[in-house]
Chains A and B, each alone.
Chain A
Amino acid sequence: MNLLRWCRNEWERTSAVMLIGAGLVVFVLGWVGQQDKGLVTEQIPYVVSGAMFGLLLIILGATIWLSADLRDEWVKLDRLEEAVTRTAAALETSESTAATAATATPGGHRALSAEARPASVEMAR
């Protein structure tokens, strides 16, 4: 069940593994097939169908696997970029809020106006 789910989620890698496996099988079949053939004209079809086609399948499988790796990294960069954008926006917002508060009350928190002071502070004086 988990394997099926993994295969569905990782369909690129699944197809890559299948292509590489099929390529190896074709390769071996071609090698076995040409062994008992004495004539070169009988061996060449096995070279074409076995070696060439098997090699082609292996190349395609490897390409798909590496493409999946690159795509995964691309998606990770997407997420990272979104997170950075969000954090940068939040940082800018907090900085502008702090700057606005600082200009509204020169001297920062120590220069609170009488209205802003808590009543307890006024009472203690």
Chain B
Amino acid sequence: MIAANPARTLAGPWRETQVRVVCAAQLLAVAAVLIATAGSAHTASFDEQTNWLTVAVAGLALAVVVSAAWLLHGRRRLVRRRAGLTTSIAVAFDRPAAGPGVHLAPVATAQMSHYHRETCQLVRGKGAEPASVIEHRRAQRTPCAVCRP
């Protein structure tokens, strides 16, 4: 059975606290650049303007780092969830069919390095046994490139 996702209530791969932290950090970055803009416009001293320029660069760097972390974290959670879902689907549906002599699960013999569909020409008459994808993967087998199970 497929386990319920605890983060389903949120409309995205991020938690509420992460959203708040990122919003606060981006607002801080915007404030830094705006303050630097006002500060550099109201002074004629090159040294002071350089300082304000540094503040603006720091704000920009903060925005870049926070955005990158935000997107990478979201991407990572999405990839993990996709992988978990794929495994769940394999566990839930990858089983032999009830009908006699008909199997939905891919087949292979112990010596094979690939697993195949039961109808694949490469396993005809070789006495290949059906097993789940997970079991084939555990046995270091990869899908057949011809029948693409």
Asked if A74 and B92 sit within 8 Å, CB to CB, the answer is: no
The residues of B that contact A45 with a CB separation of less than 8 Å are 37, 40-41, 49
Residue of A nearest to B7 (CB): A74
Residue of A nearest to B22 (CB): A63
Residue of B nearest to A47 (CB): B53
Does more than half of chain B's interface fall in helix, strand or loop, or is it mixed? helix
Bitwise interface map of B from 74 to 113 toward A, beta carbon under 8 Å scored 1, else 0:
1100100110010011001100001000000000000000
**Shortest Cβ gap from B101 to chain A (Å):** 15
Asked if A52 and B33 sit within 8 Å, CB to CB, the answer is: yes
Of the candidate stretches B60-68, B114-122, B129-137, B140-148, the one touching chain A is B60-68
A77 within 8 A of B: yes
A114 within 8 A of B: no
**Shortest Cβ gap from B103 to chain A (Å):** 15
B57 within 8 A of A: yes
Cα A49 to Cα B33 with chains together (Å): 8
Question: A49 touches which one: B29, B37, B44 (CB < 8 A)?
Answer: B37
Question: B85 touches which one: A47, A71, A84 (CB < 8 A)?
Answer: A84
Question: A60 touches which one: B8, B11, B67, B81 (CB < 8 A)?
Answer: B67
Bitwise interface map of A from 89 to 116 toward B, beta carbon under 8 Å scored 1, else 0:
1011001001000000000000000000
Cα A63 to Cα B68 with chains together (Å): 8
Question: A98 touches which one: B8, B26, B98 (CB < 8 A)?
Answer: B98
Bitwise interface map of B from 26 to 52 toward A, beta carbon under 8 Å scored 1, else 0:
100110011011001100111001101
With A66-B71, A70-B12 already in contact, the answer to whether A48 and B36 are too (CB < 8 A) is yes
Question: B93 touches which one: A59, A63, A73, A88 (CB < 8 A)?
Answer: A88
Which chain B residues have a beta carbon within 8 Å of chain A's beta carbons?
A: 1-2, 5, 8, 11-13, 26, 29-30, 33-34, 36-37, 40-41, 44-46, 49-50, 52-53, 56-57, 59-60, 63-64, 67, 70-71, 74-75, 78, 81-82, 85, 88-89, 92-93, 98
Which chain A residues have a beta carbon within 8 Å of chain B's beta carbons?
A: 40-41, 44-45, 47-49, 52-53, 55-56, 59-60, 62-63, 66-67, 70-71, 73-75, 77-78, 80-81, 84-85, 87-89, 91-92, 95, 98
